[in-house]
A = this chain, B = another copy of it.
């Protein structure tokens, strides 16, 4: 394997396309080398859109066998996951398989058995909440231990609109699997007992139980409640609260907090959120976006749109210097010289 990981993606639906764009925006050590889709024109179109040197295939297994990729992302339809994953394992390639590993436990068993027979770990499944800054902050807080033992958790998972043609089981196997994965990851204990409940169903989506309530108990005795609603209309909303012995720790309920590594802590008669200590966490996204925009524009031989030009920066300096003059003049109200006057030496 070269120092740069050549990645092949199978599937060009929403997830395959998103992974491809993320790779194209730059991931350290990775290059997008190939895209496979049974509809090869879709693979071709995506490769063309992303630019660069990307091979395309109509057959994912052919791509796996080509020797042109060092690792594979599987975002094909669910029924193909097990077979494609198996092919990757056979080829000895690291594979990131979108969830689910297989549509049923029976099929998943075969994949797990094959993986475990290999003697080396090659298979990762795309339960991405484990990488969400919010869930990671919850886990870090639990690990720190200062709030006492975890006793109970409450989760809410609501989608705006149900996928047509699915049934109540799909709510569990498609949506709730994220909580089923991430809650034991948070608590560090396997789920050993479950119970399903539902009550009055929304009249807006006739053919299924919505909302549903799941109760799960893990082997530390922690009780997890999960409310699922696939047709909640109001917005996409994911909530998670950890009830500990001396504190409650939650993902923020303000929707915009979605990408922040922030939790709301209720402890010691206060409900609080943390401030950063300096500008770096506050503006980390800005610095990354600035850099990306500048590189893209420089390659195109122009300046990044909306960025500060030399003239902008000069104007800022002139205003700042005028403010300092106001300060030195006891707070006088001062006009700011025009840039023309500044450039011509008049001001």
Contact = CB atoms under 8 A, between A and B. Distances in A.
A48 B285 CA distance: 25
A286 B318 contact: no
A342 B125 contact: no
Interface in A163-200: 168-169, 172-173, 176-177, 180-181, 184-185, 190-200
A213 B225 contact: yes
A236 B183 CA distance: 26
Given A191-B336, A199-B221, A326-B196, A173 B320 contact: yes
Nearest to A347: B105
A327 B223 contact: no
A301 to B, nearest CB: 8
Contacts of A151: 199-202, 210-211, 229
Contacts of A65: none
Stoichiometry (number of copies): 4
Contacts of A132: 283, 285-286, 289
A311 B335 CA distance: 40
A245 B161 CA distance: 11
Interface in A53-71: 70-71
Given A274-B255, A286-B129, A335-B193, A317 B105 contact: yes
A53 to B, nearest CB: 9
Contacts of A185: 306, 308, 312
A144 interface: no
Contacts of A24: 28
A303 B96 CA distance: 10
A206 interface: no
A71 to B, nearest CB: 5
A108 interface: yes
Interface in A104-143: 104-105, 108-109, 111-113, 115-116, 120-133, 135
A257 B332 CA distance: 37
A309 B273 contact: no
B112 A310 contact: yes
Contact of A177 (B238, B248, B273, B320): B320
A27 B291 contact: yes
Given A112-B311, A195-B326, A336-B191, A200 B216 contact: no
Interface string A255-290: 111111110001111111111111111111111111
A217 B201 CA distance: 13
A268 B123 contact: no
A152 interface: yes
Contacts of A287: 18-19, 22, 128, 131
A146 interface: no
A314 interface: yes
B317 A194 contact: no
